[in-house]
């Protein structure tokens, strides 16, 4: 199978994690979520996790130098030789520049940037009813993607919880961060000819079908 390097862009709640899981399965490439990496580190109580938590709890972005180092190390792992789907990275122009540099020596850049578009009201509705598996990170929604058994993960039986940053006040702060710091990446990647708009305000299967059309 040929290699494919993808970025999923979009506001919090756009469905990046949900679609990245499916893309990962279909195309056999690792799903790399910087948010998941921070939450795993926090669970272990590592210094990185504690440092990231300060920012995450306020709905702010973790400083670029912290995030860039993590992604640099992750992309050096052997499973990324087959490609990857990045979910939640890059989130700033500095991160996008750093990513370009990381890939420069590999002979293969980014193939597509999928920009998942959803209105702000939808974001709030999705995030306030999101449930996340504490053990494996699987993503559920109380209405749109409920687990078979309340409070339990279908795939691993782990406990489902509400992320601290999914409370409405924090969601608003995250949306502001998105607009100020991440939205400029739309023009950045459009300028490179890599941007593909995906209508995200549709059911999960329809969004996936649109993505597959772009990826071929």
Which residues are catalytic, by number? 16, 91, 130, 163, 174
Point out which residues bind ligand ADP (CB under 6 A).
Answer: 10, 12-18, 34-35, 38, 55-56, 59-62, 67, 88-89, 91, 95, 126, 130, 139-141, 144-145, 165, 174, 203-204, 207
The single-letter DSSP state of residue 183 is T
Closer to ligand ADP by CB, 62 or 85: give it.
62
What is the b/e burial string over 119-154, where b = at least 16 CB atoms within 10 angstroms of the residue's CB? eeebbbbbbebbbbbeeebbbbbeeebebeeeeebe
Beta-strand relationship, 83-87 and 4-9: parallel
**Distance of closest approach, residue 133 Cβ to ligand ADP, in angstroms:** 12
Any residues with CB less than 8 A from the CB of 170 and at least 6 apart, and which? 57, 58, 59, 164
Closer to ligand ADP by CB, 13 or 83: give it.
13
**Distance of closest approach, residue 108 Cβ to ligand ADP, in angstroms:** 21
Distances in Å between the Cα of 110 and the Cα atoms of 104, 106, 147 are: 10, 11, 34
Q: Which residue has the closest beta carbon to ligand ADP?
A: 35
174 binds, options Zn ion, ligand ADP, none, Cβ within 5 to 8 A by partner type: ligand ADP
Paired tokens of 54: 């300060």
158 binds Zn ion (CB under 5 A): yes
Name the segment binding Zn ion (CB under 5 A); options: 34-42, 78-86, 149-157, 169-177.
149-157
3-state secondary structure of 192: coil
Task: Judge contact between 13 and 122, C-beta under 8 A.
Answer: yes
160 binds Zn ion (CB under 5 A): no
140 binds, options ligand ADP, Zn ion, none, Cβ within 5 to 8 A by partner type: ligand ADP
């Amino acid at each position: 199978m040929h290699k494919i390097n993808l970025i999923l862009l979009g506001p919090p709640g756009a469905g990046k994690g949900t679609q990245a899981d499916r893309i990962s399965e279909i195309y056999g490439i690792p799903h790399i979520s910087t948010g998941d990496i921070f939450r795993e580190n926090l669970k272990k109580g590592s210094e990185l996790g504690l440092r990231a938590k300060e920012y995450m709890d306020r709905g702010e972005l973790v400083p670029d130098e912290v995030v860039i180092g993590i992604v640099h190390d992750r992309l050096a792992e052997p499973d990324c030789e087959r490609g990857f789907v990045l979910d939640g990275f890059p989130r700033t122009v500095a991160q996008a520049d750093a990513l370009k540099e990381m890939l420069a020596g590999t002979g293969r850049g980014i193939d597509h940037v999928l920009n998942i578009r959803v209105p702000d009201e939808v974001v709030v509705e999705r995030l306030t009813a999101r449930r996340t598996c504490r053990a494996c990170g699987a993503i559920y929604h109380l209405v749109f993607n409920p687990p078979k058994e309340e409070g339990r993960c279908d795939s691993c039986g782990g406990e489902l919880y509400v992320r601290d940053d999914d409370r409405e006040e924090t969601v608003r702060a995250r949306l502001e961060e998105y607009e100020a710091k991440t939205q400029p990446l739309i023009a950045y990647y459009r300028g490179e000819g890599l941007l593909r708009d995906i209508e995200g305000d549709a059911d999960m299967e329809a969004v996936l079908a649109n993505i597959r059309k772009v990826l071929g």
